[in-house]
Amino acid sequence: MKSEAMKGSRIRIKPINVIGLFLILVALGYIFFWRPRSGPEESKRVDLNQLLLTAVQAAERGGLEVVAVRQSSSLVQSSKGKTKEGLNDPLTEGDMRSHRVMSSVLRERFPDVNFISEEHDEATASSLQTLSGKHLAMTRTSEVQVRKELLNLTPSAVFVSDPADLTIWIDPLDATYEYSMNLTEYVTTMVCVAYHDKPLLGVIHRPFHQETYWGWVGTGVSTSVKQARDKAAVDPDTPKVIVSMSHKGAVEQVVHEAAPEAKVIDGAGAGYKVFKVLDNTAQAYVHTTAIKKWDICAGNAILDAVGGVMTTLTGKMLDYSSQKDPKNLDGLLAAATPSRHEEYLKKLSPKLVNH
């Protein structure tokens, strides 16, 4: 009897079960067929906050190598050749060890971003592994400070969707000639990030002073840059123009003719000279011979971030895109304010025609 009753029974599906099943099928269809998926473009987008933090880390860790080599007196110096002015263009172990560490730090975290360095050498895994613990320990305090400063400037992350729009420029050791002569006052390590052709992020680290300066155009600058600008509140009675001590060319004569009221002072390394413009030791930085873009990109970014200006001596903005020649042949003029830049550009331009 029981089996016959079961044979005659039918399963009834309630309307609410049909609706639930339909909704489940729709949800599965959305997940597998219609939902937008994070394609390669989204997965490769670049977090600019993290990129700036990494740039600071790279510059400071490269600086540790620069100091270590100088203190060991094992420079292992060679020559790249002669400069236009006839001076030796040296290459030291400090250049190469800094390059290896800086490029490794940046390329590991941002492999899809265009990358240009003054030096060309691949890091060996063994050399980096032996140094990584020391680097992390010695730069941790600085990294915490940068994170705090970035949090105040940009509470939420800022992204660039296509890494191909960015170019990282690094100078593992600026003022190598002076470094080889133990004139460490002028030495810097630098990282710059350009967006399309314009400088966006700039980091200048002074390894023998343990000072780091950075700027993010349109967003803000480090506390160290603010402090340097605070010192620059009062202009000196006699304006000063800073020029290169080892690449002078005709620049000293040009400045004397164009601005006889100004005192010409010299310094080494583009990073150092930009710093002297930032703190108002010099009111302008002038360079009349060829200069590489990895020497000037970081300083250009920081100047832009504080409202300053850096151009060629013809008044053109510099192009930092990866496709362009890394050498700038048109000279350089930098000032901390647009009005001062315009003043010196007007004074210098007529004189440059004759040189």
SS3 26: helix
CA 192 to chain centre: 2
95 among the known binding-site residues? no
Where b means 16+ CB within 10 Å and e means fewer, 214-237 reads bbbbebbbbebbeebbeebeeeee
Q: Please say whether the beta carbons of 180 and 90 come within 8 A.
A: yes
- Residue 307 CA to residue 29 CA, distance in Å, equals 53
* Annotated binding residue 295: yes
Whether residue 174 is annotated as binding a ligand: the answer is yes
**Among candidates 101, 148, 139, 136, which has minimal Cα distance to 121?**
101
Rounded CA-CA distance 163/106 in Å is 13
How far apart are alpha carbons 26 and 341 in whole angstroms?
A: 64
Between 48-72 and 125-153, two packed helices, what is the crossing angle to 10 degrees?
130
What b/e string do you get for 11-24 counting C-beta neighbours within 10 Å, with b at 16 or more?
eeeeeeeeeeeeee
Q: What are the C-alpha distances in Å from 194 to residues 204, 216, 315, 322, 351?
A: 15, 11, 19, 9, 32
Binding-site annotation, residues: 118, 171, 173-174, 295
Binding-site annotation, residues for Mg(2+): 118, 171, 173-174, 295
